[in-house]
Amino acid sequence: MSDAQNTGNEARDIRPTRLRDALRQARIEAADRTGVVVELRDAEVARLEILNDALDPLFEQVPEQVDLFDRGVSQGETPRLWIDVVAHVVMGRDKRIYRFVQDTRFGRIVLAESHDVAVVVDAVTSYVARRMVERERAMVATPMVEPPAPPEKPRRRGFGTFVLGFLLGAAALFALALYASLKGF
């Protein structure tokens, strides 16, 4: 009777595995089986989803106000795990190697390449940290140094010059009219 009680206690002491871990393990097994078979594309998507699940703890730490990252698996002709607009993970030619790449104005560069999920997670973590630092630098308001104002030129008395010219012109016309009237007289 004590044996029955012991087996009951042992069953309670065994910690049940989480469904997420069991699903991850099943995906790994399925990806390994299908990696050689005809459905290579499904194996690529499964491997990218495994990596996506492994990146969950990283992206849970990213503050909500940081909207640089839009992570997700696209299932187009070439399945990709997008990290942000310019960086993504794609499977290599053998469909077992993860290739973390970034598109730049000079072309595509490979940031990391490995069969191991942990290596790619470390590379993505480093990339996310660098992008967040770039964002912080861009968001910091640097004090704008205003160029010194040019010294003000002394204003000329434009109106006074106009009045003086008007009076001189009127006097000249008056003198011309007087001269013409005296000559004709």
pLDDT band at 14 (very low <50, low <70, confident <90, very high): low
Q: 115, 97 in Cβ contact below 8 A?
A: yes
pLDDT band at 11 (very low <50, low <70, confident <90, very high): very low
What is the rounded distance in angstroms from the CA atom of residue 26 to the CA atom of residue 17?
13
pLDDT band at 18 (very low <50, low <70, confident <90, very high): confident
> What's the pLDDT score for residue 101?
95
What is the rounded distance in angstroms from the CA atom of residue 120 to the CA atom of residue 48?
11
* pLDDT beyond 90 at 26: no
Q: Give the pTM.
A: 0.57
Span 44-57, average pLDDT: 89
- Per-residue pLDDT reduced to its tens digit, 130-183: 999 988 888 886 666 777 777 777 666 677 888 889 899 999 999 988 888 888
* CA neighbor of 51 nearest in space, from 4, 100, 108, 104: 100
Instruction: Tell the burial category of 163 from Cβ atoms under 10 Å away from its Cβ (0-12, 13-18, 19+).
Output: exposed
* CA neighbor of 45 nearest in space, from 1, 93, 71, 78: 78
Span 114-128, average pLDDT: 93
Select, from the ranges 1-5, 39-43, 100-104, the one with the highest average predicted confidence (pLDDT): 100-104
Least reliable range by pLDDT among 33-42, 96-105, 115-124: 33-42
